[in-house]
Amino acid sequence: MTGTFLNIATVIIGGLIGLLFGARIPDKLKSTVIAGMGLFIIAMGVQMFLNTENPLIVLGSLLLGTLLGEWWRIEDGLQNLGKYLEKRFSKSDDDGSNNFVRGFLTASLLFCVGPMTILGSIQDGLTGDYNLLAVKSVLDGFAALAFASTLGVGVIFSTIVIFVFQ
C-alpha cells in the first residue's frame, strides 16, 4: 500500500502545481516533458520485455486484457463516474464547455492502464517492494502537472481510481 499512497500523493501534488502554476508553464515545455516520459516508459518496457522468459505470456496477457476491458466496458464506466463527479464538483467554463470529464478520464486511464501499474501493485502487495510504483509515481506526478494545467481539476480526482485500482 505504500506505493499506492505515494502514487496518490504525487498525483495530487503534481495536479495542484499544474492548477496553480500551469498557465505559466510554456506548452512546448509540457510537450517535451510528456515526450521524455514516453521515451523513458518505452525504454523501461523494452527492458522488462527482454527480461521475460516467455513472450507468449506477454502477448496473451495483452490480448486477454484488451478483450476483458472491452467486454466489461471499463472505459464507459470511468466516463460515467467522471460525469457524475463533474456534476457534483465542477463548474462550466465561460463558453459552457467543461474539461472535468476529459481530465478525469485521460488521467485515470493513463495512471491505471499499463504494466507498471499492474506489476507494481502486485509487487507492492505481495512483497512490500514498491520500487516500481515509486518510479511510476514520479512519472505520474509530472504527467498530472502537465494535464492539470490544461484539463483542470478532473486530473486530481483520478486519484480515486488509482486508489481503487492499485
Q: What is the mean pLDDT of the chain?
A: 86
Judge whether residue 61 has pLDDT over 50: yes
Residue range(s) defining the domain that contains residue 7: 2-20+67-165
Judge whether residue 63 has pLDDT over 50: yes
pLDDT value of residue 89: 66
Instruction: Calculate what percentage of the chain has a pLDDT beyond 70.
Output: 94
Q: Is 30 within a domain?
A: no
pLDDT value of residue 12: 96
- For the stretch 151-164, pLDDT in tens is 889 899 999 988 98
Q: Is 58 within a domain?
A: no
The cell for 17 is 502545481
Q: Is 40 within a domain?
A: no
Quote the CA–CA distance of 56 and 135 in Å, as a whole number: 26
The stretch 113-127 carries a mean pLDDT of 87
Q: What is the value of pTM for the model shown?
A: 0.78
Q: Is 138 within a domain?
A: yes
- For the stretch 74-119, pLDDT in tens is 888 877 877 787 777 666 555 545 688 888 888 988 898 877 888 8
Number of domains into which the chain is organized = 1
More confident residue, 40 or 92: 40
Q: Is 31 within a domain?
A: no
